[in-house]
Amino acid sequence: MIKEESEEYLMKVIMNADDFGFSRGVNLAILEGFQHGILTSTSLMVNMPGFEHAVSLMKQYPDLLHVGIHLVTTVQYSVVKGLKTLTDENDHFYRDPEIIEKSDQSELDKEYQAQMDKFLATGLKPDHIDFHVCTTPKQLKAAMKLAQKYHLPMRAQDQQIEGILKEHGIVYAPCHIPDFYDHGTVNTLLKLFEKALDEKREMIELALHPAYVDQTLLDLSSYHVQRAREFASLMNPEVATFIQQHDIELISFEDL
């Protein structure tokens, strides 16, 4: 449905699929979500097994996929080898926010820059910055340096972070909503939309994790079958109908 110029949308929504690059199954579901028109944004993990496949899709569909960088410090291996405080002796990240926050800030800065460099080495540029699993104060500080250096918007995971980003002149998506995670039903999604509309939110960002389940996902994540449920719910016609009927505009970080 094409809206008349005089009409206004009630709310803008960034539908961001996290974990692009995790595996081929994750990548293909995210691609299909874009093709279906329900996903408007995704974020790339540069240290995961599906990275090269994800990059090939980005180059094949440059006008369709809107891709940010999903900064990683909690799964698989670091890009920088030999870190002393962020990884074990095998360069494997610890899955522990407390260890991340106690790590050397210079190592975190170095690793995040290396992840950005790996993204940029593809010849492509991310359209925003967000995080995998957690955001500690040190992670936020390191990511903000990248945001300012490359003039990129960021995910703001709570109101406190929104305030920090605003103070530093960094563009962000307001009202980040992670609540679809592990509750990936159509009913949950529609209730999240309804709540935001009732609160008269002008914009929200939903964190989503759609996937086709493959062996890589089963091996590396405890959140696997749930991703398939999320994907099925996102693709349900009820969701598209609700969005259209309630004058919701789906946007990407590029539109901020």
DSSP β-bridge partners for residue 42: 17, 67
Closest Cα to residue 140, out of 176, 95, 174, 170?
170
Q: Does residue 6 have a pLDDT over 70?
A: no
Q: How far apart are CA 170 and CA 176, in angstroms?
A: 15
Looking at residue 253, its amino acid is F
pLDDT at residue 236, rounded to an integer: 98
Q: pLDDT tens digits for 78-113?
A: 999 999 999 999 999 998 999 999 999 999 999 999
β-pairing, 67-71 vs 41-44, is: parallel
Looking at residue 105, its amino acid is Q
Question: What domains appear along the chain, each with residue ranges and CATH number?
Answer: 11-255 (3.20.20.370)
> Are residues 173 and 155 in contact, defined by beta-carbon separation less than 8 angstroms?
yes
Looking at residue 234, its amino acid is L
Q: What is the mean pLDDT of the chain?
A: 95
> Are residues 139 and 108 in contact, defined by beta-carbon separation less than 8 angstroms?
yes
Q: pLDDT tens digits for 32-42?
A: 999 999 999 99
Q: What are phi and psi of 142, to 5 degrees?
A: -65, -40
3-state class (DSSP) for residue 71: strand
pLDDT at residue 7, rounded to an integer: 55
- Cα torsion 129, 122, 231, 253 to 10°: value is 30
